[in-house]
């Protein structure tokens, strides 16, 4: 199994600012993913974080709004740019291991005022 | 789009078996059935997965029909800590394949 941690666990931000969320895995994983979970809803996949290349975004999500980095096999960041209140959500990362099971972080709870 | 359909909500008495159904009539031959759950304010937790044979681990059992078009997750002795949203997902058995979540089933375990 893999243990995934995220920083920060929560934050309150002003509109127009940006927040970078960090995701750290305790072992090397092949794939990492970022999700958004809006209040009372299921998880929506934002993008696949590719190691050493640009992230692959799902429909409705763009790099300018959600830039992603993945410098190595255990770490990734997601930035929420130019935030508005509609960006208030929980953001989660996940990682796939050699057992082909995705493990999830605890999430970052973001509130935009 | 999610490839599965699940009931929106279910109740189960504490100590009884919780049986959570899932329909996946369009499942492909190389796709597995995975179950995750999300306890309030936590990240999703992997429970179990299977291809066509029934599977059991320390958390649950997974029963897949012979035609693979539906499955049932069984929590043999539900406790209050099993109250969560349960997600049934079909995906290829590969770490590169995305986990796409549907709305899931909200299970309430009642004292």
Residue B53's pLDDT is what? 87
When pLDDT is cut at 50, 70 and 90, the band that residue A5 belongs to is: very high
The whole-angstrom separation of Cα A17 and Cα A5 is 24
Q: Which residues of B touch A96 (CB under 8 A)?
A: 95-96
Q: Which residues of B touch A44 (CB under 8 A)?
A: 101
3 state SS of A88: coil
User: Hey, is the C-beta of A79 within 8 angstroms of any chain B C-beta?
Assistant: no
pLDDT at B3: 85
Hey, what are A41's tokens?
A: 């809803």
Kindly state the percentage of chain A with pLDDT values over 90: 81
**CB distance A94 to B99 below 8 Å:** yes
Q: Which residues of chain B have pLDDT under 70?
A: 1-2, 94-95
- Tell me what the pLDDT averaged over chain A comes to: 93
d(Cα A87, Cα B103) in Å, to the nearest integer? 20
pLDDT value of residue B35: 95
Q: How far apart are CA B32 and CA B20, in angstroms?
A: 17
When scoring B99, B103, B105, B106 by the number of chain A Cβ atoms within 10 A, the one with the most, hence best to mutate, is B99
Q: What is the pLDDT of residues A22-71, one digit of tens each?
A: 999 998 888 899 999 999 899 999 999 988 888 999 999 999 999 999 99
Question: Any chain B CB within 8 A of the CB of A5?
Answer: no
Q: State the Cα–Cα distance between residues B61 and B75, nearest whole angstrom.
A: 7
Cα B93-A91-A25 angle, rounded to 5 deg: 55
Residue B62's pLDDT is what? 98
* Confidence (pLDDT) at B13: 97
Angstrom CA distances, B53 to A44, B23, B32, B62, B66, stand at: 30, 16, 11, 9, 8
Q: Are B100 and A96 an interchain contact pair (Cβ–Cβ within 8 Å)?
A: no
Q: Which of chain B's residues have a Cβ under 8 Å away from the Cβ of A29? A: 95
């Amino acid at each position: 199994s893999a243990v995934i941690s995220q920083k920060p666990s929560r934050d309150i931000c002003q509109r127009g600012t940006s927040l970078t969320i960090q995701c750290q895995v305790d072992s090397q994983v092949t794939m990492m993913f970022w999700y958004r979970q809006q209040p009372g809803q299921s998880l929506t996949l934002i993008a696949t974080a590719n190691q050493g290349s640009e992230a692959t975004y799902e429909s409705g999500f763009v790099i300018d709004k959600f830039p992603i980095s993945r410098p190595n096999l255990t770490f990734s960041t997601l930035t929420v740019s130019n935030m508005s209140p509609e960006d208030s959500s929980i953001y989660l990362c996940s990682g796939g291991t050699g057992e082909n099971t995705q493990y999830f972080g605890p999430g970052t709870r973001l509130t935009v005022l | 789009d999610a490839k599965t359909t699940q009931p929106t909500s279910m109740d189960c008495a504490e100590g009884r078996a919780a049986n959570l159904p899932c329909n996946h009539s369009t499942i492909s031959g190389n796709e597995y059935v995975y179950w995750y759950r999300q306890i309030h304010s936590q990240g999703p937790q992997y429970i179990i997965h299977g291809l066509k044979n029934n599977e059991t681990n320390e958390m649950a059992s997974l029963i897949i029909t012979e035609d693979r078009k539906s499955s049932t997750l069984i929590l043999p002795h539900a406790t209050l800590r099993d109250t969560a949203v349960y997600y049934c997902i079909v995906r290829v058995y590969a770490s590169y394949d995305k986990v796409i979540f549907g709305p899931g089933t909200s299970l309430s375990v009642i004292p």
